[in-house]
Amino acid sequence: MSSDQDIDGWMAARGITLPDARTRARAVLEEAGLTRPGKLRMSEPKLLKAAELLDSRFFFVCADGACLKVALASGREPLRVEPRSHCMRCGGSANRRAEAAFVESCRSHGVRKVVVVGGSPAVREELDQKLGHQIELRMVDGTERRTSDRARSDLDWADLVLVWGATELHHKVSGHYTHGGPAYSHKVVHVVRRGVAALLEEAITHLERSR
């Protein structure tokens, strides 16, 4: 004999906590015959089907405007969730929101190759893992010697160069990129704020201004 669960509690565990969202999700489940008005509990087998149905019908999304834009373009119906950790786009993470927005901005501006100069080894690895499969990345260790020729090669290769001044970055390294000359100034962004989200937000601002 299968166990059953409280439907409202099951929805809350999926981030469906707002009254309008809960009403909409419940209506879809009732239309599919998985429950009926006034019923409070649902069997485990039906809950599995309910989860598949809601995931196929809805794009669970937080209140962030950029996340909502992606939800609207997904082909599924946006359904507001709280907390943000249930958002299918950002998962409640400022870094993840910034990463998604950065990739979208790069695509819309034709940016495919990005050089990041500076940052700790852990952060460079994180950026490579999160972004490397969507855009081409070159990560430059700001604490190791970099020749002017290698820096010039990076500048020629890249569509965008992010010089992360608030991190582990020696002036002798950053200078090769920030003083590369007027031919490169349009693609070089000097970021003075810490954090992955701040780095990518500055890059997005630069791309938007360069339209």
Report DSSP state, residue 167: S
Q: Given this model, what pLDDT does residue 166 score?
A: 72
Whole-number Cα distances in Å, 202 to 80, 129, 197, 207: 28, 20, 9, 9
Q: Given this model, what pLDDT does residue 158 score?
A: 96
In this structure, which long-range contacts are made by residues 167-172, counting pairs with CB atoms below 8 Å and at least 24 apart in sequence?
167/118, 167/119, 167/120, 167/123, 167/142, 167/194, 168/118, 168/119, 168/120, 168/142, 168/143, 169/117, 169/118, 169/119, 169/142, 169/143, 170/142, 170/143, 172/145, 172/146
Whole-number average pLDDT of the chain: 91
- Give the residue extent of every domain in the chain: 4-86, 94-209
Q: Given this model, what pLDDT does residue 57 score?
A: 96
Whole-number Cα distances in Å, 27 to 7, 22, 43, 66, 132: 13, 8, 18, 27, 41
Q: Given this model, what pLDDT does residue 2 score?
A: 55
Blockwise average pLDDT, block size 10, the chain, 211 residues = 83 96 97 95 93 96 91 95 92 89 94 94 89 93 90 95 85 88 90 89 91 62
∠ at Cα 125 (123, 131), nearest 5°?
Answer: 95
Task: Give me the count of residues in the chain.
Answer: 211
Bridge partners of 60, per DSSP, are 79
Indicate the CATH number for domain 94-209.
3.40.50
This prediction has a pTM of: 0.69
